[in-house]
């Protein structure tokens, strides 16, 4: 049995390499199909990793109270007319809520950061001393500002790892002064690096200031949200309670709609799942179409091959080859073409993923690679079976007479 397998493999390889151009053109559909399914899987795998990392940065146990929903079909003017968040809401939420473990007001705006001859435009955040409890990032070096520094509006800042690398390189940033919109701030801490949010923009290029300094220097420019940390096992209860507390603070009657939004990572998860379905559906359609076209092409070329080698089939049967041997020979040939097509498609996908990864996160899982090769071989079996079966049923005498 083993010797028959290797004999058929040898014949198949000889036939494939004897007609290289024809084999490549025949297998083009399989190559495109394997390339499509691997690139789709690679992209989704990379997205999954980036999404999980980004969601951990946002925090599943953090509720974001603001004027706007992250994803909404509401009219812009309706949302725009909502009252802004206020810093005094922080103390009221702490007073009325039993689930709020930490509450930090966060004001945000763009600003120019510079150090000596280096400059960058990025986002700055004004917040209170509880901010670190509402994010998953830790201080890599230095410290966070205190409540007293916030109260007096001290000009201190905590910078992201990206800012530290861009401005100071290997130097220690602690104690150095940077300019934020041409005003000096002393660096007292550096945040751990977090990478890119959803693979799109870096969260390491930021500067965090005491809210007292932010409001005194930048007035009320920029928008505010409230970040509320709740127990991880009481997220739904916390959401309901914070919603009720906010309605009390805003003085809303039971019949009135809420004029605020409470966002959490579930909103991103819903949108992300839709994106994955869209990518997966498109990739599946392209893959299926390519494999069907490729399978038809292989079936067609195998019929031609059987026709061309009719006398060979007659000779083999005359010297004792059984129908099963002929069937396995031609089936092996179809599978071999698809196998090499799968390898070519996988190689192209791997090279493509390297370049894609420089722009967007992508990884090529081992399981997907094996699946791609297996699916290409299955296509070879399905598309090559009918021509191989026809070859096995040829009459040896008629085959020997074939011109």
Tokens describing residue 269: 């998860």
- Poorest-pLDDT segment among 71-85, 160-174, 185-199, 254-268: 71-85
Tell me the domain boundaries of the chain.
Answer: 2-53+270-401, 61-265
pLDDT higher at 123 or 49: 123
Q: Residue 274: what pLDDT?
A: 79
How far is residue 351's CA from residue 340's CA, in Å, rounded to a whole number? 17
Average the pLDDT over 256-280 and give the result. Answer: 79
Q: Within 154-264, where are the H helices?
A: 161-168, 211-218, 235-250
pLDDT at position 218, please? 81
Q: Quick one: tokens of 379?
A: 């296509």
- More confident: 180 or 367: 180
Paired residues of 107 in beta bridges: 126, 224
Model-wide pTM > 0.75: no
Mean pLDDT check: name the lowest of 167-171, 220-224, 299-303, 361-365.
220-224
Distance CA(367)–CA(383), nearest Å, equals 24
Does residue 223 carry a pLDDT above 90? no
Mark 127-141 as b/e (b = at least 16 C-beta within 10 Å).
bbbbbbebbbbeeee
**365 vs 384: CA distance, rounded Å:** 29
pLDDT, averaged across the chain: 81
If pLDDT is split at 50, 70 and 90, which confidence band does 134 have? Answer: confident
Phi, psi (degrees; rounded to nearest 5) at 315: -65, -45
**Contacts with 253 (C-beta within 8 Å, 6 or more apart), sequence order:** none
What per-residue confidence (pLDDT) applies to 145? Answer: 92
Burial of 83 (0-12, 13-18, 19+ CB in 10 A): exposed
pLDDT of residue 159: 92
pLDDT attached to residue 316: 75
Measured between its terminal Cα atoms, the distance across the chain in Å is 32
Q: How far is the C-alpha of 291 from the C-alpha of 302, rounded, in Å?
A: 16
Q: Residues of the chain with pLDDT > 70: what percent?
A: 83
- Across the range 126-132, mean pLDDT stands at 91
């Amino acid at each position: 049995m083993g010797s028959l397998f290797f004999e058929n493999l040898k014949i198949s390889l000889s036939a494939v390499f004897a007609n290289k151009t024809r084999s490549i053109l025949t297998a083009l559909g399989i190559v495109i199909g394997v390339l499509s399914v691997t690139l789709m899987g690679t992209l989704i795998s990379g997205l999954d990793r980036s999404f999980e990392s980004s969601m951990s940065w946002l925090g599943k146990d953090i509720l974001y109270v603001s004027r706007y929903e992250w994803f909404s079909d509401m009219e812009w003017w309706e949302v725009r007319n909502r009252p802004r968040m206020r810093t005094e809401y922080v103390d009221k939420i702490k007073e009325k809520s039993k689930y709020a473990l930490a509450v930090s007001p966060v004001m945000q705006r763009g600003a120019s950061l510079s150090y000596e001859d280096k400059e960058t435009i990025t986002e700055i955040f004004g917040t209170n001393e509880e901010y670190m409890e509402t994010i998953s990032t830790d201080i890599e070096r230095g410290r966070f500002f205190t409540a007293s520094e916030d109260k007096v509006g001290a000009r201190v800042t905590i910078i992201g790892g990206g800012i530290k690398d861009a401005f100071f390189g290997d130097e220690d940033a602690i104690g150095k002064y940077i300019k934020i919109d041409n005003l000096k701030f002393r660096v007292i801490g550096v945040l751990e690096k977090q990478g890119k949010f959803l693979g799109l923009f870096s969260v390491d290029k930021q500067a965090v200031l005491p809210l007292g300094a932010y409001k005194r220097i930048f007035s009320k420019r920029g928008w505010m949200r409230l970040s509320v940390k709740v127990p991880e096992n009481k997220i739904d209860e916390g959401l309901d309670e914070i919603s009720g507390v906010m309605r009390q603070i805003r003085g809303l009657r039971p019949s009135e709609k809420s004029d605020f939004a409470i966002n959490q990572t579930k909103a991103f998860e819903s949108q992300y799942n839709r994106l994955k379905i869209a990518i997966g559906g498109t990739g599946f359609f392209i893959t299926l179409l390519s494999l069907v076209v490729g399978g038809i092409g292989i079936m067609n070329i195998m019929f031609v091959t059987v026709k061309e080698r009719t006398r060979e089939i007659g000779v083999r049967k005359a010297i004792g080859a059984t129908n099963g041997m002929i069937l396995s020979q031609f089936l092996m040939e179809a599978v071999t073409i698809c196998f090499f097509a799968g390898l070519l498609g996988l190689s192209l996908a791997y090279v493509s993923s390297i370049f894609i990864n420089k722009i967007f996160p992508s990884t090529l899982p081992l399981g997907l690679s094996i699946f791609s090769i297996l699916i290409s071989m299955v296509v070879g079996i399905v598309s090559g079976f009918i021509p191989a079966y026809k070859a096995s049923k040829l009459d040896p005498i008629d085959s020997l007479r074939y011109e």
